[in-house]
Structure 1
Amino acid sequence: MLTLQDKVAIITGASSGIGQGTAILFSNLGSKLVISGRDDNALDATIRSCNANLKTEIIKVVGDVTDPEIRQQIVETAIENFGKIDILVNGAGILKNDSIENMEMENFDFIMNVNVKSIIALTQLCLPHIIKQKGSIVNVSSVAGTRSFPNVLGYCISKAALDQFTKCVALELADKGVRVNSVNPGVIVTDIHKRAGYTEEEFQKFLTRCKTTHALGRPGSVDEVANTIAFLASDSASFITAELVHVDGGRHAMTPR
């Protein structure tokens, strides 16, 4: 049976979407948590959901993970309160619509800072503690890291970079007993697309298109991604590292004719 009993996990991006769902699942599986996000009230909502059925040891750190001081606070909070770090889930991320014709370098830098640079920096801070525990790192990437899509150029580049980070670091840390993997979701029903600028009508049309863009004929749910993250983070996946696990209803394998 899958368990994270007494594991200490850091989860970024836990105020909404996949990060929030992962925090709730981890708490149900027995993990002690340090969660971070920019929205204080939303983090409180995550904590209430985590504690709906049991009292989980969970601490929030409010702030932007691109801020070095916030990253330092996340790690220090985990060590000061729990004494160790077993798992790092890099869940924070941002999506913006752009193309080579209209992409502004300022926006590209921002996407890379959130989706790549902040993850590298936080991983470096956590690493001594994770090595000590022979722990696990799970990065939340995207099918856009392994497949190409128009009009989300910066996002695709950032997720492709994150996938290489996952595989390279997995090889570098294998002899230390640390596993590094990523999940690569397809379209998941969260607010990320609305935050990228989609209207409600556009978003519903986007979800309807999933009937043809995903082999299973539908978008995915947060729980389906969270379950995969929990498996990869757990000892049940003890012989899995450097893996990019598509949770995308088969979208990555499709070649429309």
Structure 2
Amino acid sequence: MLNLNNKVSIITGASSGIGKATAILFSKLGSDLVILGRDEKALDETISKCNTKTKIIKIIGDVKRSEIQLKLVTECLTNFGKITTLVNNAAVFRLSSILNTKIEEYDEVMNTNLKSVLQLTQLCAPHLIKEKGTVINVSSIAGTKSFQNLLPYSMSKAALDQFTKCVALELADKGVRVNSVNPGTIETNIHRRAGYTEEQYKTFLERCKTTHALGRTGQPDEVANTIAFLASDLSSFTTGEIIHVDGGRHAMTPR
């Protein structure tokens, strides 16, 4: 059976969406947690739904900040003595094209979705090597398929996929596995935060019934299940993999 007993996991972006669902599931499967989010109230809501037997350390802050990254690692080692699992989930989503992307916006997306992942993974790597641990990066279908008006976001996720495969090769002989999950449209608040009105979001979700082979959008729990599998010993021979959790969207071709 799938379990994460004796695991100690760092999860970024755990205050909502996929990160929240992953933290809750990991706790129920037996992993102790260090979770990061910018909204303390939302992070407390995540904790309230976790297994009460699980020990959880919460860190409030922005994953882009190097001092926050260091605090994540330090608090994990201080409280648990090890790091077995890193889930790089925190990300920002912006709607912009080559015609209107601002450099400041590009920097925000790349620094959050890519640079922070590299920095935090570097900090965790020596400790993951000791435990023969795992890294799971939350990427996107936008990393493997091209879409209009998602330029910086898609660039960041495509680079994240290449990061996953390169680091998987670099750490394989040290017993550390590195994989990505690439969700399709998952019902979270990420689109609302990018500027969708409720009416626009409702229209978007309805259209997604035709763009995903299974005829629907996904739920955060469905992505969390795959992340948990990759964090568990059941995936012991899986590394460098890019796993779409997208209802078949990546396989579709317009006709």
Structure 1 and Structure 2 fold alike (TM over 0.5): yes
Q: CA deviation at 1:141?
A: 0.1
Aligned to 2:202: 204
Aligned to 1:16: 16
Q: CA deviation at 1:56?
A: 1.2
Q: CA RMSD in A?
A: 0.5
Q: How does 1:1-257 map to 2 (within 5 A)?
A: 1-51=1-51, 54-257=52-255
Code of the residue aligned with 1:11 in structure 2: it is I
Tell me the secondary structure at the aligned position of residue 176 of structure 1: coil
- Segments of 5+ residues of structure 1 without an aligned counterpart are none
Tell me the secondary structure at the aligned position of residue 138 of structure 1: strand
C-alpha distance in 2, partners of 1:41/1:220?
25
C-alpha distance in 2, partners of 1:73/1:244?
29
Code of the residue aligned with 2:12 in structure 1: it is T
What is the identity percentage for the equivalent residue pairs of Structure 1 and Structure 2?
A: 67
C-alpha distance in 2, partners of 1:126/1:178?
11
C-alpha distance in 2, partners of 1:98/1:24?
32
Runs of 4+ residues over 4 Å off in structure 1: none
Code of the residue aligned with 1:251 in structure 2: it is R
Code of the residue aligned with 1:9 in structure 2: it is S
Q: CA deviation at 1:211?
A: 1.1
C-alpha distance in 2, partners of 1:64/1:237?
30
Which deviations, in whole Å up to 9, do the C-alpha atoms of 1:112-159 show, x marking residues without a partner? 000000000000000110000000000000000000000011100000
Q: CA deviation at 1:55?
A: 2.3
Q: TM-score, normalised by structure 1?
A: 0.99
Q: CA deviation at 1:6?
A: 1.5
Tell me the secondary structure at the aligned position of residue 34 of structure 2: strand
Q: Across the two proteins, how many residue pairs are aligned to each other?
A: 255
Q: CA deviation at 1:169?
A: 0.3
Tell me the secondary structure at the aligned position of residue 53 of structure 2: coil
C-alpha distance in 2, partners of 1:129/1:95?
30
Q: CA deviation at 1:219?
A: 0.2
Code of the residue aligned with 1:3 in structure 2: it is N
C-alpha distance in 2, partners of 1:172/1:182?
15
C-alpha distance in 1, partners of 2:249/2:103?
30
